[in-house]
Amino acid sequence: MSTPTAILAGFQAKRRSARSRSLKPWYQNGSLVAGMIIVGLLVLMAVLAPVIAPYDPIKQDLTATLQSPNALHWLGTDKFGRDVLSRLIWGAQVNLRIGFLAVLIPFVFGSIMGGLAGYFGGWFDAIVMRVVDVFFAFPFYVMVIALVFILGSGEASIYLAIAAVSWVSYAKIVRGEVLVAKKQDYVIAARLSGMSHARVLGRHIGPNVLSQAIIYGMSDIVMDIMAVVTLGYLGLGIAPPTAEWGSMILDGQEFITTLWQQATIPGLIVVVTSLGVSWLGDGLSDMLSPERRK
Amino acid sequence: MHRLSFIPGRLLQSIPVVFGVTLLVFFMAHLLPGDPALAILGDKATAARIDALRTQMGLDKPLIVQYGLFLGQLVRGQLGTSLTYQVPVSELVLEAAPVTLSLVFFALVLSLLIGIPLSGIAATKPNGFADLAVRGYTLIGQGMPQFWVGIMLILFLSLKLRLFPVGGYGQTAFDHFYFLFVPALTLAIALSPTMIRSLRSSTINVLGSEYVATARSKGSGGTELFRKHVLRNAVIPTVSILGVNLGYLVGGSIVIEKVFALPGLGSLMLNAIFSRDFPTIQGVTLFVALFVVVVGILTDVIYTLLDPRVNFGSKERE
């Protein structure tokens, strides 16, 4: 599990080290390839869930509850007799979908706020940054849990809650990048040639500063997957009986003494997923760092 | 100018943040669907009580007046009355806070005990075997859901090895320490990757500096060099990261308290959510956020005391 600050710190360290790296074609970039393979396989698993899952993930069979792994049920069955392997495979749909989609709103909103604040400065910047400070005072889970409560449970609430909490990181990153970019010659030249603010921001600054937000977005996906899994575990996520990894861990914890696999394996697949996404993000940050494009 | 003369300014700077935090928590009640008074008192309240609260909150008055009334209560330490327990929320918060804060503090100590040696080993020989192993740990550590780490530790330390209880908080002070060990270890494992990353890179920087070369040339080496010359300088950047992460630890402990059935703020908040006890949710959220603001100020003070070069008073902070 990682924190926004952790990711920010790690991400700045990565940027520094990226500068010393040589220009390699993408397929020689080890972490990019490893990340692509892992994430690719997981996405394939999610998409093909209806085909490859041996059983219906929500169909109960009260004659076959709490089985240990066996030939019919490779990972056993849960307390409702549902096949754990099938739920694991179907869970990829919910967890990956929310994890990847949840970054979009905060990415767009945070980047716009940070970009405008950095570009125009003055009172707008001061207000935006104070608001950012206020949001930073609320620990991620405290805020997400409170918001999911207020907005009601369901997928839309999870998106909104995550957006409300995580836009501030994008705002901070993009603002910092814009502050640097707006002093560069190409921006000054663009302004002097009579271009409007909108055009300078959109066409000249935007493409140059967004790569950092994209790189951060990759680590944010890991955070969002964690958030979905954690909400599921707390009983505040996607409503049962939908297969979801966090609620599977919650169900498994009850029977940890006899069926340890049921809490362990969904957690392992979360670890593999975050590893894949992190590697993909590392690889992308190598490819996207501005030094490389020169 | 005295080094700590930045403190009044720093306090002044945090005033808008404190107001912002209270404003956000105030608006939580208005974001709820329906009548805020009904949300606060619950469905079972009589019409007379709801009317009374509506007047007390000034729901018929402009928002700004309502916010003023809310602030007035806050200043007197009133966070409302819990719907479930029918006692002031402030009492519940004060009862639960020590559990969460001890857990967080314990986790902080454990994460330093994990982080300092590991980052030291990793930094002595960058890209060596130990370094790669430590970096592997930080990568995987970041990808593990905290609550799952907690369950795995229960599985191994409590159920298989029978070294620790599976949950609860115990009765005596010694009990608390013993019962909190595994939960604190869980949080420490979650926090340590961040700390190791920061400590590792700052240690590498310090090891390459001239004063360390000087100390070495004078015959200093081994743990003495590490303790006297490297550690203090390498820890400084980590302090600011830890300060920010204390808020994160409090957030994390909400989840961990559920895993280990600890009677802290997290359990208070989660129980309040399932019993739709809105004043308690509001109270815990506000308390935690204000705590984070205070810790932020304290971090800056500690940072200044540790690093004589830092002077928040003379230079604009980014």
The pLDDT > 70 percentage for chain B reads 95
pLDDT digits (tens, 9 = 90+) for A199-256: 888 888 888 888 888 888 988 999 899 999 999 999 888 888 889 999 999 999 988 8
Contact call for residues B190 and B150 (beta carbons, < 8 A): no
Task: Answer yes or no: do A142 and B289 touch at CB < 8 A.
Answer: yes
Please tell me the pTM assigned to this model: 0.86
Contact call for residues A231 and A151 (beta carbons, < 8 A): no
Q: What is the DSSP string of B147-200?
A: HHHHHHHIIIIIIIS--S-SS---SSHHHHHHHHHHHHHHHHHHHHHHHHHHHH
Reply yes or no on whether the pLDDT at B316 is more than 60.
Answer: no
Task: Answer yes or no: do A229 and B145 touch at CB < 8 A.
Answer: yes
Q: By mean pLDDT, which of A185-189, B72-76, B99-103, B244-248 is the weakest? A: B244-248
Closest residue by Cα to residue B254 from A94, A146, A287: A146
Contact call for residues B265 and B104 (beta carbons, < 8 A): no
Average pLDDT over chain B, rounded to whole? 83
B95 sits in which H/E element? helix B89-124
Asked if omega into B145 is within 30° of 0 (cis), the reply is no
Which has more pLDDT, A9 or A167? A167
Whole-number Å distance between alpha carbons of B233 and B204 = 11
Whole-number Å distance between alpha carbons of A163 and A159 = 6
pLDDT band at B93 (very low <50, low <70, confident <90, very high): very high
Task: Answer yes or no: do A139 and B16 touch at CB < 8 A.
Answer: no
Reply yes or no on whether the pLDDT at B314 is more than 50.
Answer: no
pLDDT at A101: 94
Q: What is the DSSP string of A144-182?
A: HHHHHHHH-SSHHHHHHHHHHHHHHHHHHHHHHHHHHHT
pLDDT at A23: 65
Q: Does B201 touch chain A (CB under 8 A)?
A: yes
pLDDT at B90: 92
pLDDT digits (tens, 9 = 90+) for B22-31: 998 888 877 7
pLDDT band at B152 (very low <50, low <70, confident <90, very high): very high
3-state class percentages of chain B: helix first, strand second, coil last, to nearest 5:
75, 0, 20
Task: Answer yes or no: do B254 and A145 touch at CB < 8 A.
Answer: yes
Q: How far is A1 from chain B (nearest CA, A)?
A: 4
CB-CB neighbors (< 8 A) of A172 in chain B: none
Q: Does B143 touch chain A (CB under 8 A)?
A: yes
Which has more pLDDT, A86 or B229? A86
pLDDT band at A290 (very low <50, low <70, confident <90, very high): low
Q: How far is A193 from chain B (nearest CA, A)?
A: 31
Alpha carbon of residue B57 to chain centroid = 31
pLDDT at B303: 77
Contact call for residues A273 and A95 (beta carbons, < 8 A): yes
The pLDDT > 70 percentage for chain A reads 90
Task: Answer yes or no: do A133 and B247 touch at CB < 8 A.
Answer: no
Mutate: best of B103, B147, B199, partner A, most A CBs <10 A: B147
CB-CB neighbors (< 8 A) of B28 in chain A: 146, 150
The pLDDT > 90 percentage for chain A reads 40
Reply yes or no on whether the pLDDT at A38 is more than 90.
Answer: yes
pLDDT at B183: 94
pLDDT at A289: 66
pLDDT digits (tens, 9 = 90+) for B252-305: 888 999 999 999 999 999 999 888 888 899 999 999 998 888 888 888 888 777
Mean pLDDT within A109-119: 94
What values do phi and psi take at B169, rounded to 5?
-125, -15
HSE toward the beta carbon, residue B208, CA cutoff 13 A: 9
pLDDT digits (tens, 9 = 90+) for A136-150: 888 888 888 888 888
Average pLDDT over chain A, rounded to whole? 86
Reply yes or no on whether the pLDDT at B3 is more than 80.
Answer: no
Alpha carbon of residue B63 to chain centroid = 31
pLDDT digits (tens, 9 = 90+) for A166-200: 999 999 999 999 998 888 888 889 888 888 888 88
pLDDT at B317: 40
Reply yes or no on whether the pLDDT at A8 is more than 60.
Answer: no
User: Could you tell me if the ipTM is greater than 0.90?
Assistant: no
Reply yes or no on whether the pLDDT at B100 is more than 70.
Answer: yes
Q: Does A134 touch chain B (CB under 8 A)?
A: yes
pLDDT at A233: 93
Reply yes or no on whether the pLDDT at A116 is more than 90.
Answer: yes
pLDDT at B315: 43
Q: How far is A278 from chain B (nearest CA, A)?
A: 8
Q: How far is A160 from chain B (nearest CA, A)?
A: 13
Helix axes B232-260, B146-153, angle to 10 degrees: 70
Whole-number Å distance between alpha carbons of A162 and A99 = 10
CB atoms within 10 A of CB B210: 7
pLDDT at A20: 45
Reply yes or no on whether the pLDDT at B220 is more than 50.
Answer: yes
Closest residue by Cα to residue A214 from A179, A177, A246: A177
Whole-number Å distance between alpha carbons of A4 and A220 = 8
Closest residue by Cα to residue A4 from A125, A96, A110, A92: A110
Helices marked H in chain A: 4-18, 30-47, 49-52, 84-101, 104-120, 122-136, 140-151, 155-181, 185-192, 197-199, 206-234, 245-253, 261-288, 290-293
Q: By mean pLDDT, which of A38-47, A165-174, A244-253, B165-174 is the weakest? A: B165-174
Whole-number Å distance between alpha carbons of B250 and B254 = 7
Reply yes or no on whether the pLDDT at A9 is more than 60.
Answer: no
Angle, vertex CA B305, rays to CA B299 and CA B311, nearest 5: 85
Whole-number Å distance between alpha carbons of B97 and A3 = 22
Categorise residue A70: left if φ over 0, alpha if ψ from -120 to 50, beta otherwise. beta
Q: What sign does the dihedral B166-B168-B172-B177 (CA atoms) show? A: positive
Amino acid of residue B210: E
Mean pLDDT within B40-57: 77
Whole-number Å distance between alpha carbons of B111 and A78 = 35
Alpha carbon of residue B29 to chain centroid = 24
pLDDT at B73: 85
Amino acid of residue B214: T
Reply yes or no on whether the pLDDT at B96 is more than 90.
Answer: yes
pLDDT at A2: 44
Distance (Å) of CA A266 to CA A23, A75, A88 = 38, 11, 7
Closest residue by Cα to residue A169 from A123, A135, A146, A119: A135
Reply yes or no on whether the pLDDT at B204 is more than 80.
Answer: yes
Mean pLDDT within A264-273: 94
